[in-house]
Amino acid sequence: MIFIQSFLIIFIASGSLVFSQNSTQANEGRVRIVQLLRQENSIRRYPDALPSLLKMLNEQSNARFDTDPLFINTLTDERLLENPILYINCDEQPNLEFPQEERDALRRYMEQGGFVYLDAGIKASFLGQDLGHSYAAWEERPEVKELFSMILPEKTFIPLGRDHDLFRTFFTGLPKNKDLEIKTEQKRLPETVLSFVEREKWPQATYSFVGIKVKGRLACVASPICAMGWGRDEFGAWIPPISFRVRESAENFDQNLKLASFSGGTYEVTREDGLKDIIYSENGQRPLWVQEPNGKWRIFKYYSGEEISNYAHAFYSRLGMNVFLYALLN
């Protein structure tokens, strides 16, 4: 594909942020992201997200993206083949059932060098119909699995290692105070939250991603919903607010949670190591606690507020930028 070669000549700053707000605004040569919207009149999930992320990419790197995604409502749209990156928010689609011709088109797209990002392509079963939850399960959602078993029957999604280049294409590490534009001495997160985030939730700024290689190249990735962390309002403030779900332990929890009153249901969620966590959840409530395969019991605690939201947005945006820049370069 011609576009693959042409994109490789785009220079991307590495190592440190390069602010280039005064750069030329000409549209020629800008990379256009194609976004699938199968039903144009359906309720959009985070409509400001992708344009905001692309704007950030233009401001913070030397890559040049068109901040106006190109919407297509079918994968057979010929404009798909003219652009290198296809973004699909799986939560935004009425379903993930595609006719044969669209499945063929998607396969052809990947074989010819296209990159597919399935946002919300991972969704833990216990979330049910709830949208807007990003939970680090380590396998693609069943609908995605079924779809790709028809598109690429010889392939399966494989978890991306924590050392994968995708996680450090441009940004490395979790956001620090400077990145968050807050004072050095200010607490960026509550202690228990920061500790969980750094050690388990997003170690070295990684997250639960699975991917499929086509012709030796990573051609498709799926992640829990990340778009919720990309949006900014006109003044630069993050939207919408994001809360954290954090696993916490305490003295005697291994005993206490095993015996504590509970009348809901349990759900199994695949971990990074392939083992299963058992999530305890009651109807109408957010998940209560988790039994981990090593026999440890931990409780889910929920944190919201400005600092939580700002941190989550900063992380998801940095991650999103890494994904799109990785797609561009590979």
Partner 1 sequence: MDYAEANGVKMIIRTFLLSLFVLVFDLSAQVPAPRVQVESNPNNKGVDQNTTITPERSSEEKTIERAQEGLQSSEVGSRVGAAKLLGKYRSIKTSILLISALDDESALVRRAAMVSIAEHASNGFPVYDKTLAEKIYSKLGDPDVEVRREVSTMIPRIISPMRRSGMELIEINGRKVYRSVSSAMRPDLYKMTQDAFLDEDAIVRQNVLKYHTYLSVALPLLSLEELLSDSDLGVLLTALDRISSSASQPRIVKKVKALSKHANKGVRLKVVTVARNANSYHSDYRGILREMTNDSDPEVLSMAAVELARFGERVPEQVIKKIKDFLLGVSGLSTQVTTILYTVSSLGVDGAEIYKALTEHSSSQIRAIAWQRFINLSEGWRDSSVWLPATKDPDPKVRKVVLDGLRGRSNNLSEKQLGILVESGFSDVRIFAAQSLLDASQGTVESLGFDLLIDEDTIVRSTTIRAISARRVPGWLTIMKRSLLDSDYVIQRSAMDGLLEDKKEGVPLLIDYILKNPQSRISNLAKIELRKIGVQP
Shortest distance in whole angstroms from residue 22 CB to partner 1: 9
Sheet of 289-291: strand order equals 244-248, 297-303, 289-291, 276-281, 265-270
Q: Nearer Cβ to partner 1, position 234 or 273?
A: 234
Shortest distance in whole angstroms from residue 284 CB to partner 1: 8
Shortest distance in whole angstroms from residue 160 CB to partner 1: 30
Q: Nearer Cβ to partner 1, position 138 or 297?
A: 297
Shortest distance in whole angstroms from residue 257 CB to partner 1: 8
Q: Nearer Cβ to partner 1, position 68 or 97?
A: 68
Q: Which two tokens stand for residue 78?
A: 């010929």
Asked whether 35 and 93 are in contact (CB, 8 A), the reply is no
Q: Nearer Cβ to partner 1, position 2 or 26?
A: 26
Q: Nearer Cβ to partner 1, position 94 or 284?
A: 284
Shortest distance in whole angstroms from residue 235 CB to partner 1: 4
* Interface residue list for partner 1 (CB under 8 A): 21, 24-27, 30, 48, 51-52, 54-55, 58, 65-69, 181-183, 186-187, 190-192, 233-237, 248, 250-253, 256-262, 284-286, 288-289, 299, 301-307, 310
